[in-house]
Copies of this chain bind each other. A is one copy, B any other.
């Protein structure tokens, strides 16, 4: 019964990249910088701040060089940027990035639809980036997407995911983040995949990246914790997700994750109240209500407290 939980976990905040890249309305660079700096002040120790992709693909990330060179982070906070290829890598380096992330799909069809490359072609591009990183002493994180379900192929074979992860480690990727990109996984999927990673040493280099599209993200985190994982990705307010399903929830919300972990006695080093302030800031920036449950409960409660302070009748039950 959930008896071997880790004492602490690391959260990688992906909101400024994975969250904002799905926003159709252009967010001002200054707002992005303000959000990233506020996130860094919560105690988060790793923030993915932007993506050096072609502005033709993702116009929202066209200001990557400006974001990277403007943002000021306290010592000890790692900031990373996504890069799709050698050209993106050089741009990231020019902007002073010392940590990068590469990505590829675990399914052949998703790979072709997403980046117009086969898995082997994606691996070739990716290994070129890793080689350059190693030359420069840059740390590389690798995202493997659609590791449980592919929108085109359905269930993904976990054996293939383990093989691809091993390939990424061999190339020199330091940490592999396994992504449930469409938010379809359930806890037994997570359990079964993790069992295939033989050694605890392997599991220490695996991160899990869940989406809450069907509400299962935190349940999957529990299965991940139970399976020895200590690094989880999350996005402030639950920003992000699938651009083709605008009414659906997106990434796992950082506040939901931190609330649960702290409640379970698992340390994150993060100040949850400050994180809620960041969620409120993120809502202002993207000009809409974000799907994070904890955020909405807190903001609703704050609104009630404001009403009470104004002498109106209301009762606080939380």
* A175-200, CB < 8 A from B: 182-189, 191, 194-195
Q: Which of A182, A188, A191, A227 has the most CB of B within 10 A?
A: A188
Contact A260 B5 (CB under 8 A): no
Asked whether A297 and B249 contact (CB < 8 A) given A1-B195, A5-B188, the answer is yes
A299 is an interface residue with CB less than 8 A from chain B: yes
* Set of chain B residues within 8 Å of A183, measured between Cβ atoms: 297
8 Å CB contact of A218 from B215, B253, B301: B215
Rounded to whole Å, the gap between the CB of A229 and the closest CB of chain B is 11
Rounded to whole Å, the gap between the CB of A260 and the closest CB of chain B is 5
Rounded to whole Å, the gap between the CB of A129 and the closest CB of chain B is 25
Contact A247 B214 (CB under 8 A): no
Q: Which of A2, A182, A226 has the most CB of B within 10 A?
A: A2
Number of copies: 2
Question: How far apart are the CA atoms of A314 and B184 in the complex, in Å?
Answer: 20
Contact B182 A296 (CB under 8 A): no
Q: Which of A223, A227, A260, A303 has the most CB of B within 10 A?
A: A260
* Set of chain B residues within 8 Å of A94, measured between Cβ atoms: none
A77 is an interface residue with CB less than 8 A from chain B: no
Interface size on A, as a range, is 35 or more
* Set of chain B residues within 8 Å of A293, measured between Cβ atoms: 212-215, 248-249
* Set of chain B residues within 8 Å of A188, measured between Cβ atoms: 2, 5, 263-265
Closest B residue, CB atoms, query A289: B247
Closest B residue, CB atoms, query A315: B244
Closest B residue, CB atoms, query A150: B317
Closest B residue, CB atoms, query A247: B300
* Set of chain B residues within 8 Å of A297, measured between Cβ atoms: 183, 213-214, 245, 247-249
Contact B318 A151 (CB under 8 A): yes
A95 is an interface residue with CB less than 8 A from chain B: no
Contact B316 A151 (CB under 8 A): yes
Q: Which of A213, A223, A296, A318 has the most CB of B within 10 A?
A: A318
Question: How far apart are the CA atoms of A301 and B221 in the complex, in Å?
Answer: 25
* Set of chain B residues within 8 Å of A300, measured between Cβ atoms: 245-248
Rounded to whole Å, the gap between the CB of A233 and the closest CB of chain B is 16
User: What per-residue 1/0 map shows which CB atoms of A230-261 lie under 8 Å from chain B?
Assistant: 00000000000010111111000100100110
Question: How far apart are the CA atoms of A217 and B315 in the complex, in Å?
Answer: 24
A residues whose Cβ falls under 8 Å from a Cβ of B: 1-2, 5, 151, 182-189, 191, 194-195, 212-219, 221-223, 226-227, 242, 244-249, 253, 256, 259-260, 263-265, 289, 292-294, 296-297, 299-301, 303-304, 314-318
Pick 7 A–B contacts, CB within 8 A, sort by A. Answer: A1-B191, A182-B318, A187-B222, A214-B256, A216-B259, A244-B317, A248-B318
8 smallest CB-CB distances across A and B, nearest first, come from A186-B263, A215-B293, A247-B300, A215-B256, A248-B297, A151-B317, A218-B219, A245-B300
